[in-house]
Amino acid sequence: MKQEDIMKFIKSQRLRWAAHVMRMENTRTTRKIIEWMSYKTRQVGRPRLRWRAKVEDRQEWNRIVEQTNTHPGL
């Protein structure tokens, strides 16, 4: 298996995990940690892209994960 394939597989698994966490109840510790925001001032410029918005559309999220998945069916 090529290193590139392994990296794509790891990325797709991370995306699946992120979606799983974002669908958790707000009271779960894992979700609280992900949602936590520091009190630093934000940087000037365009806001960072948030995965949260994409996770809510489950079909779109699954399409994104499938694009990164090199091992269909996992």
Structural domain spans, the chain: 50-74
User: What one-character DSSP code corresponds to residue 71?
Assistant: S
Q: Taking 60 as the threshold, does the pLDDT of residue 54 lie above it?
A: yes
Q: What is the pLDDT of residue 34?
A: 79
Of 3, 5, 1, residue with least CA distance to 70: 5
pTM for this prediction = 0.49
Q: Taking 80 as the threshold, does the pLDDT of residue 20 lie above it?
A: yes
